[in-house]
């Protein structure tokens, strides 16, 4: 075989292998260069930081949308989500894009939806009222400055809403929020229809309703017995209460002491001996269950039902005088009403009135059974800062 034939044969075999391989390598090189270009656009400065990626992604989305570079725009969105996960501006753009294309948006309706919409609302209300506060409010939400991105999504949402080419309530809700028609957005969010977003809002509203509120404070007043028990006399009361409220029901542990001697003497028996006494040191510990009849911003009126143990020491032990100790302890049920006036959002003054009947087992002694009333002036804290913030964020009236 001649040298020229060998050379020709070698070239043919080399070409069969080299040409396809060179094509593949060229394709991979193009992909690598393109990927590096997008990466370099979104990760400036070189250290990858989500704050920078958010900022650069927002800028490039605006640019690529103006230039109709859909492939590049798609790559930006994918890169943004890959490195920073789901976030409000990214989801906002994807939702608007889906609405433009007439595609289903249900995949974007979940437990985060309400908070993303309300965060956008709160942020834009502050910025619209005073643009100088944009940096401050964005820092509060850990959100980079994206004025061009916000303006683009607001304009797109406004155009879509005005076109009225949609019929779904959920689409309306997204477009009302993103076009900054916030009053209409909140009104429709709590309407009685059953869209997916409204169901989500209702779930969050129920979380708010079921949050506990603390009820704690000090109380002082007077205990006033009637009938035969009036012999024991009126006594000042001092104590405290602590409990919690859920919806319209409140449960309180309440404790107070009663003191000072009785105005009158009466007979008690102990160890077969009769003693004439006016000694008195008493107490009350009980569990109160209250149902709120009225709840306003400044006034609340709970109706109370108490299950308690009340009583007092009628004899104080004195070894020298051979006087034993003697106490009356009486389980009882009482009923009452409280009038609460709020000095601030959480602090209050109130007047509680409650009555009961005490059956005193004073065998062979003076009959001192009878009804009694307690009047208590209270100062305390009622509410929950967490619940109040939740209420404000959910725009609940």
* Residues 259, 378 share a domain: yes
Q: Write out pLDDT tens, residues 346-396.
A: 999 999 999 999 999 998 899 999 999 999 999 999 999 999 998 988 888
* Residues 176, 251 share a domain: no
pLDDT at 7: 40
The answer to whether the beta carbons of residues 180 and 156 sit under 8 Å apart is no
* Residues 80, 101 share a domain: no
Residue with tokens 């070189």: 46
Structure tokens at 334: 């009482």
| Cα–Cα dist 376/244, whole Å | 19
Structure tokens at 32: 């690598």
Q: How many CA atoms lie within 13 A of 284 on its CB side?
A: 36
* Residues 238, 323 share a domain: yes
| Cα–Cα dist 364/354, whole Å | 30
Residues of the chain with pLDDT under 70: 1-48, 165-167
pLDDT at 191: 84
Number of domains in the chain: 3
In a domain, 395, yes or no: no
* Residues 216, 359 share a domain: yes
CATH number of 267's domain = 2.40.160.20
pLDDT at 276: 93
| Cα–Cα dist 179/151, whole Å | 10
What DSSP letter does each residue of 163-204 carry, written as one string?
A: HT----HHHHHHHHHHTT-HHHHHHHHTSSS--HHHHHHHHH
| Cα–Cα dist 123/137, whole Å | 6
Q: Give the domain-ending residue among 190, 208, 226.
A: 208
Structure tokens at 11: 């070239």
Range of the domain at 50: 1-85
pLDDT at 159: 94
Q: What is the DSSP code (8-state) at residue 322?
A: T
* Residues 19, 99 share a domain: no
Integer-rounded Cα radius of gyration of the chain: 38
Strand stretches in the chain, DSSP E? 212-225, 235-246, 249-258, 266-270, 273-277, 281-295, 299-315, 326-342, 347-358, 370-383
* Residues 219, 198 share a domain: no
In a domain, 131, yes or no: yes
Selection from 250, 248, 220, 249 nearest residue 236 by Cα: 220
pLDDT at 271: 86
Identify any residues that bridge with 351 across adjacent strands, giving them in sequence order: 339, 377
* Residues 112, 24 share a domain: no
Q: Give the domain-ending residue among 152, 183, 208.
A: 208
> Residue 45, preceding bond cis, omega within 30 degrees?
yes
* Residues 10, 157 share a domain: no
pLDDT at 44: 54
* Beta carbons within 8 Å of 16's beta carbon, 6+ residues apart: none
pLDDT at 48: 63
Q: How many CA atoms lie within 13 A of 265 on its CB side?
A: 5
Q: Give the domain-ending residue among 171, 189, 208.
A: 208
């Amino acid at each position: 075989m001649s040298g020229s034939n060998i050379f020709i044969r070698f070239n043919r075999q080399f070409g069969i292998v080299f040409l396809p391989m060179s094509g593949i390598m060229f394709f991979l090189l193009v992909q690598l260069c393109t990927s590096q270009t997008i990466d370099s656009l979104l990760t400036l400065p070189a250290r990858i930081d989500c704050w920078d990626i958010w900022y650069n992604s927002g800028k490039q989305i605006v640019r690529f949308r103006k230039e109709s570079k859909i492939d590049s725009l798609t790559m930006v969105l994918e890169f943004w989500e890959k490195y920073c996960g789901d976030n409000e501006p990214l989801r906002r753009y994807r939702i608007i894009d889906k609405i433009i294309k007439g595609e289903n948006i249900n995949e974007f309706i979940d437990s985060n939806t309400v908070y993303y919409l309300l965060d956008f609302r709160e942020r834009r209300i502050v910025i619209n009222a005073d643009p100088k506060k944009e940096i401050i409010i964005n820092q509060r939400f850990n959100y980079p400055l994206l004025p061009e991105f916000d303006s683009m999504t607001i304009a797109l949402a406004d155009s879509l809403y005005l076109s009225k080419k949609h019929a779904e309530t959920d689409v309306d809700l997204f477009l009302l929020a993103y076009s900054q028609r916030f009053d209409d957005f909140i009104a429709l969010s709590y309407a009685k229809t059953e869209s997916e977003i409204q169901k989500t809002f209702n779930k969050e509203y129920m979380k708010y309703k079921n949050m506990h509120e603390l009820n704690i404070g000090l109380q002082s007043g007077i205990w006033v017995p009637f009938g035969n028990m009036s012999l024991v006399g009126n006594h000042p009361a001092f104590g405290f209460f602590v409990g919690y409220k859920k919806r319209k029901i409140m449960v309180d542990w309440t404790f107070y002491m009663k003191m000072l001697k009785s105005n009158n003497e009466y007979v008690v028996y102990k160890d077969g001996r009769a003693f004439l006494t006016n000694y008195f040191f008493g107490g009350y510990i009980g569990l109160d269950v209250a149902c709120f009849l009225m709840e306003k911003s400044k006034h609340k009126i709970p109706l109370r039902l108490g299950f308690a143990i009340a009583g007092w020491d009628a004899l104080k032990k004195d070894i020298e005088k051979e006087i034993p100790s003697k106490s009356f302890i009486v389980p009882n049920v009482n009923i009452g009403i409280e009038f609460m006036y709020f000095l601030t959002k959480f602090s209050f003054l109130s007047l509680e009135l409650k009555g009961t009947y005490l059956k005193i087992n004073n065998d062979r002694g003076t009959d001192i059974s009878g009804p009694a009333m307690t009047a208590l002036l209270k100062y305390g804290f009622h509410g929950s800062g967490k619940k109040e913030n939740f209420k404000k964020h959910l725009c609940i009236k």
